[in-house]
Structure 1
């Protein structure tokens, strides 16, 4: 799966913003308050709306007045275009409003394009808890096939149809899209939570906060040794002095990460290792996951990392994206940007109080300078990017 475009209306600082031609690795740059974190929050909002309800997702963000763009009329609208597993272009549209003090889903559509011409199939088309869904999915894509629809009613007007219908095997397409959102990973890694010893055992994926780092390391060491060895190889190449990493069980059933410095006989346990070493190891564990998340979002990965490591880290993100997980990264680091292509960079800046988004590759000036040998990070520092000085 790959997101092709995102369009957002009336969601906090996004009065009307659009990202198009999205590559596998998407990097967001912009001043503080320009909307980078808000875009990641939109991903989290969809996950919360699916896990609970749209009403609860809105409430978690301070309520309708706090979430909706200030002073704007009309509902909140999110549109995502993506490639489904069969390679066809699909669109998910979600429009949210307020009626009598209650949050409602004004419209929810999941539609798949049918070739270059022809009317798209609306696999889901709901409004305020009622709507229709296709019942003959097996005919989709066949020549001259005609869709068959039935009516359905959800429990509440703020429940997503993809949540209700996605539980049933008869709605494979809906279930696939629901699973896609459920498996998005919006990372909120905290060094302090990765250091303590954790309960003994295994974890297949690094948590959003990184508090199960030792358990994931142990899992990779036991069941995916080639991945663990690749992580160790990257650590020894990119972090001076590190010769080995292991997860040591303690007598009381916990796991402690230990880092072997080639200059010393005994290894250091995690709490005595630098923040940068722990964070780089955590990122490598995340990025060498045998089953990449379909979407991975990470804010400012440069924090606590030595600048020279950032170009290597950018390459790790790109390799992860090429294995199947689309990556969204926000950054302020020129060193990270220097490892990127212009097609991978989007600039966010405020205009009249709301966020505007430009694609670096669309700028003729940036393209000419980049083709002439200038690196994006240096151009960012020089203020050449659109909106950088706003």
Structure 2
């Protein structure tokens, strides 16, 4: 599992380091930096997909997402004795992202673009590193990318030059990962590719989850919920069908969910006590549909190493928070979970489970901090 996350220079995350547990709950007021932390995780996942440069360009380029404050704050500024002023920079302009766990750690350092004007929003990948364990040291480095060059360490501890002309928009995680000669990079890439993000499921009248869907085995719910019926039927067929039925009954006493098949297509139907016919997916309330989407995500028969939920409580009735918390706590026994939430009720309920922790974010001088949490040790590779 991932136990440490580090972000430097991204939006309000000037130099943030967080300790992660099997169930990490991220809270804070509006504007405290929860969305920045969530987006930073998405950028790390984009490394494994080979599109981090494109994702940063889509956000407006490095200049639009870099920390906008001074490089450092003096004690006098923090005490209010002097105004906040920009000083001459001592370090290169950089956006740094990193994660680590008991097995591997990885970081990437992106700098200002030097491409033609048509590609002026593309940052350059300056440095990447892969190491053994949670903290980078002198002897545990396994792979290193500096500029266009990449070198890998083999099982005998000898370095091999894997690339000499890697493009500044290509990551070594995608272009130097090999099952034989770059196995650790290959494992890292496949693990990060398996991360799942569920953010603001649509539940409006035209939401993908309300449409008739093709009936095919779906062990992983799509990020937009467009294959909800197939995912629920897959859980009932090859997953934990009893947990599915129990979770539906927990949230909606006396109710059950089935997936009706017709000409190779499936559709969600909910049977409720007192009704003479089941309700089809277009008839379900927004909150009911959203709960079923979360249910399909959390009861997946193929749990990932990391799943991130962004404000799962949105549009849910307060009575559904407790059943959702029980779902989250049960899922955290099978997969690492990061839950970004505004709901104090959801957070407090989830904190009762072993392995749960809270990261409470707040802003000071425009910077996102977690004053109640102890920052883990982290070492960035230097350019």
TM-score (norm 1): 0.81
Helix, strand or coil: the match of 1:291?
coil
For the 8 Å contact 1:183–1:293, the answer to whether it is kept is: yes
1:277-356 to structure 2, matched below 5 A, reads 277-323=288-334, 325-341=335-351, 344-356=357-369
For the 8 Å contact 2:217–2:230, the answer to whether it is kept is: yes
- Tell me which protein shows more helix as a share of its residues: 1
Q: Return the offset for 1:30.
A: 0.9
2:76 paired residue number: none
1:236 paired residue number: 249
For the 8 Å contact 2:47–2:173, the answer to whether it is kept is: no
Match of 1:107 among 108, 127, 130: 127
Number of equivalences:
340
Q: Return the offset for 1:117.
A: 12
For the 8 Å contact 1:216–1:285, the answer to whether it is kept is: yes
2:30 paired residue number: 32
Alignment pair present for 1:77 and 2:96: yes
Helix, strand or coil: the match of 1:338?
helix
2:229 paired residue number: 214
Q: CA deviation digits over 1:32-62, x for unaligned, max 9?
A: 1211111111121122233234421211221
For the 8 Å contact 1:54–1:105, the answer to whether it is kept is: no
Task: State the alpha-carbon separation in 1 of the partners of residues 55 and 285 from structure 2.
Answer: 37
Q: Return the offset for 1:193.
A: 2.5
Q: CA deviation digits over 1:307-350, x for unaligned, max 9?
A: 13213322321221211x11111111121122133861111111
Q: Return the offset for 1:119.
A: 4.3
1:49 paired residue number: 47
Helix, strand or coil: the match of 1:69?
coil
Task: State the alpha-carbon separation in 1 of the partners of residues 374 and 322 from structure 2.
Answer: 20
Compare relative contact order (CA 8 Å, sep 6+) and give the higher one, 1 or 2. Answer: 2
Task: State the alpha-carbon separation in 2 of the partners of residues 305 and 99 from structure 1.
Answer: 43
Unaligned runs of 5+ in 2: 71-88, 116-121, 376-383
Task: State the alpha-carbon separation in 1 of the partners of residues 323 and 368 from structure 2.
Answer: 30
Runs of 4+ in 1 over 6 A off after TM superposition: none
1:12 paired residue number: 11
1:365 paired residue number: none
1:92 paired residue number: 106
Task: State the alpha-carbon separation in 2 of the partners of residues 329 and 63 from structure 1.
Answer: 27
1:63-74 to structure 2, matched below 5 A, reads 63-71=61-69, 74=93
2:73 paired residue number: none
1:3 paired residue number: 2
For the 8 Å contact 1:54–1:103, the answer to whether it is kept is: no
Q: CA deviation digits over 1:241-278, x for unaligned, max 9?
A: 41x21111224x42111001121232111111222222
TM-score (norm 2): 0.82
Q: Return the offset for 1:239.
A: 1.3
